Amino acid sequence: MQEEKVVLVDKNDNKLGLMPKMEAHLKGKLHRAFSVIIFNTQGKILLQKRASTKYHTPNLWSNTCCSHQRDNEDNISAGKRRLSEEMGFITDLFNFDSFIYRVEFSNGLIEHENDHIMIGVFDGIPKPNPNEVDEWKWVDIDILANDMKINPEHYTAWFIIIMNKYFESLKKWKLQ
């Protein structure tokens, strides 16, 4: 099986080419990615605990799902694809915002991504893929933000960045 490729981009999200995912993470090349945040109608966020077998950041709590867009795949299609693959459901998604971040991990991998955030609403019961997700839970956004301050080591770096940068906007969005 051929390794998945990521879309390399410049700081304005213009496509520069493709690179195998692991190579991009070893070299720290800026590439396109996405993070999906799902609320329920009570305003709680659906979190996943990344599987213990993940190649980086295993056993950490994170947003509902995340991954990389494929070549010529739009954000919404990519988000729905991965939501189905990781969490076992599909719902409408809306583009929220994007930001660039760079984080180096202790295993030598580097996340340097233009992360496109998408938001959706779902009230069902997820059926997560055990190869991707060890646990899931619905959490109130205020309780989540407080726990992230007390226990940041329990969460993925990009999810902490999202919550720090967009907390007020997300809080307003959940009330819509």
Q: CA 93, 94, 95, 101: dihedral to nearest 10 degrees?
A: -50
Give the up-direction half-sphere exposure of residue 93: CA atoms within 13 A in the CB hemisphere.
27
Which residue(s) pair with 46 in the sheet? 138
What CA–CA distance (Å, rounded) separates 29 from 109? 11
Q: Is 135 a catalytic residue?
A: no
Which of 66, 86, 111, 132 is catalytic? The answer is 66
Of the residues 65, 86, 111, 113, only one is catalytic, namely 113
Parallel, antiparallel, or unpaired for β 31-39 and 65-67? antiparallel
Q: Is 65 a catalytic residue?
A: no
Catalytic (active-site) positions:
66, 113
